[in-house]
Amino acid sequence: MTGKTAGTGADKGAGWMRPDPADDGSRMLFGGDWTVDGASALDRTLKDFSGAGHGKIAFDLSAVSRLDSAGAWMLFRAAHRLSGGGTPVEFVNVSEQHRPLLEIVGKLDDVAVPKADRANALVRFLARVGEGAFDFGKKGLELLNFVGLVAVAFGRSAIRPNRLRPNALITQIERTGLDALPIVGLLSFLVGVVLAYLMSDQLRKFGAEVFTVNLVGLSMFREVAVLITAIVVAGRSGSAFTAQIGTMKVNEEIDAMGTLGLDPVEVLVLPRVLALMITLPFLAFFADIMGVLGGGVMTVLALDLSPSQFVTALKGAVDIDDFVVGLVKAPVHAYIIAIVGCYEGLKVQRTAESVGHQTTVSVVESVFLVIVATALFSIFFSILGV
């Protein structure tokens, strides 16, 4: 057994511990002030005490003059450590003044020395998967509840159109539609160029490069143009919705709306949802035109076709159904993006860090749900044979 004395005679009232000289070392005497003021030195002394060589040790607190929760916590932590190593500890000669505090601290679970996590990697992985599944389900229910709130706001506005705010709606149409035309057009044009180049390069190996026009037209009209547009809008407008509403929540503007009797869903969410559902189909149409234009330029250059030949081949490859299939998805994608962006904005806490976090979450969730919706649409149209 090793034992050290904490404090010296010069340290008036300082806590100390030492073996009982009248005993064989199975009793430790404690005295002085066991308070937070000397916690650092006392804690080091207790950690150095191993208690080895004894079946049982008694902590004699008869000489303790002052004891607070920090001192009691250190004593119980040392007792738990020794007990865990096979040396039980008993507290003896506790004064009536200190007994209530020791009883309270002794009932706390966190005084015990933490045990190492013995779970293997597979168990930890499964635990994390299960936790993620529960969080995913909870998030889905909350988002579904928010969809219901927005539906109620739509219903109220349909019954009483004067509740709509045309100025806010027009402003959001400009921000989400007109201001997004350059980036959507440029990106769609470049995607069309890349698709045409890759398809013509691969089909040339089989002598079927003439079908490049078919693939470019079908892919752009049915899937690629509207999906690229939705992803761009999710990163541009969806994140803006979250940041704008989140900043208003940080500045307590949303609380002020409630004080004035205004519904934040009706004032902030509804104009954004309606504006995006109006503008995204037009953006998708613009993306169709720019994507086919980019694919046409690349096809003309790669296959030595004339522009009139490309247009003729495009007419024979696609019809109005392919065009409609793509545009039908646009309002659904717009609804998803706007709902998620506004929902995450209203979830922002009153910190700048929360605004950034929820904005990131908003973009990730929007893109994920848009891709899921695209897959479901593909299955649905396949079943219908469209």
Percent over 70 (pLDDT), the chain = 91
Same domain for 131 and 143? yes
| Same domain membership, residue 324 and residue 235 | yes
| Boundary residue ending a domain (81, 111, 141) | 111
What pLDDT does 1 receive?
38
Please report where in the chains the tokens 């469209």 appear, as a residue.
386
Q: Please, where are the H alpha helices in the chain?
A: 39-48, 69-84, 99-106, 121-159, 166-176, 181-203, 212-219, 225-233, 239-250, 253-259, 264, 270-303, 307-317, 320-346, 352-384
pLDDT in tens, 152-177: 988 988 888 888 888 989 999 999 99
Global pTM reads 0.67
Total domains in the fold of the chain: 3
| Residue 5 covered by a domain | no
Residue range(s) defining the domain that contains residue 66: 16-111
**Per-residue pLDDT reduced to its tens digit, 21-63:** 777 767 888 888 888 888 878 888 887 777 666 678 888 888 8
The verdict on 94 and 144 lying in the same domain is: no
Are 241 and 322 found together in one domain?
A: yes
In a domain, 4, yes or no: no
CATH number of the domain that 68 lies in?
3.30.750.24
- Which parts of 220-269 fold into alpha helices (H)? 225-233, 239-250, 253-259, 264
Counted residue by residue, the chain has a size of: 386
For 285-295, the pLDDT digits (tens) are 999 999 999 98
> Do both 59 and 104 map to the same domain?
yes
Query: Residues 173-228: pLDDT tens digits?
Result: 999 999 999 999 999 999 999 998 888 888 887 877 778 888 888 889 988 999 99
Same domain, 377 and 363: yes
**Which residue reads 């545009």 in tokens?**
327
Q: In what order do the strands lie in the sheet with 16-19?
A: 16-19, 27-34, 57-67, 89-92
d(CA 241, CA 226) in angstroms, rounded, equals 20
Domain assignment of residue 8, yes or no: no
Q: What is the pLDDT of residue 114?
A: 41
Give long-range contacts, CB 8 A cutoff, 24+ apart: 181-186.
Answer: 181/283, 181/286, 183/232, 183/236, 184/228, 184/229, 184/232, 184/233, 184/283, 184/286, 184/287, 184/290, 185/286, 185/287, 185/290, 186/290
Would you say residue 175 lies in a domain? yes
pLDDT band per the 50, 70, 90 thresholds, residue 353: confident
CB 163 within 8 A of CB 183: no
Shared-domain flag, residues 197 and 333: yes
pLDDT-based confidence at residue 280 (cuts at 50, 70, 90): very high
332 and 232 share a domain? yes
CA distances to 248, 264, 267 from 257, rounded to whole Å, are 10, 7, 9
> CA torsion sign, 201 to 202 to 207 to 210?
negative
Let me know whether 153 and 198 are in one domain: no
Last residue of a domain, one of 69, 89, 111: 111
Is 125 a member of any domain?
Answer: yes
Query: Per-residue pLDDT for 111 more than 50?
Result: no
Domain membership flag for residue 304: yes
- The residues, ordered by sequence, that sit 6+ positions from 51 with a Cβ below 8 Å of its Cβ are 1, 57, 82, 85, 87, 89
- Asked if residue 284 is part of any domain, the answer here is yes
The H or E element that residue 18 is part of is strand 16-19
Domain closes at, from 70, 94, 111: 111
Tokens at 286, concatenated: 């613009």
Q: Is residue 349 domain-shared with residue 266, that is, in the same domain?
A: yes
Q: Is the pLDDT of residue 2 over 50?
A: no
Do 183 and 260 lie in one domain? The reply is yes
Per the CB < 8 A criterion, the answer to whether 206 and 306 are in contact is no
Residue 83 and residue 182 in one domain: no
Flag whether 288 is in a domain. Answer: yes
